Amino acid sequence: MSVEDRRSCMELVKEANGSGAERAACCQVLEVSLRTLERWEKEPEKGDQRRGPHSVCAHALSEQ
């Protein structure tokens, strides 16, 4: 998800929350965890911090 998409999600939640909806319910509709939303709000300009697997699967298929 891009930074722009995250901003849109945060704005939607903010707007819905201002109208009386619970943040958790908003997140459920957007299919984003509440903790993720909190992390985005804390550092809105940070991109995706996931780094992927640290090792290769031992029983993975070879290039052949």
Q: Model confidence over 3-49: pLDDT tens digits?
A: 888 899 999 999 999 999 999 999 999 999 999 999 998 887 777 77
CA distances from 48 to 8, 22, 34, 45 (A): 16, 26, 17, 10
pLDDT of residue 35: 93
Q: What is the enclosing helix (H) or strand (E) of 8? A: helix 3-18
pLDDT of residue 25: 95
Cα gap 12→32, rounded to integer Å: 12
Q: How many degrees, rounded to 5, is the angle at CA 43 between CA 15 and CA 46?
A: 110
Tell me if the pTM is above 0.85: no
Contact by Cβ (8 Å): 42, 32: no
Report whether pLDDT(63) > 90: no
Q: Give the confidence band of 52 by pLDDT, cuts at 50, 70, 90.
A: confident
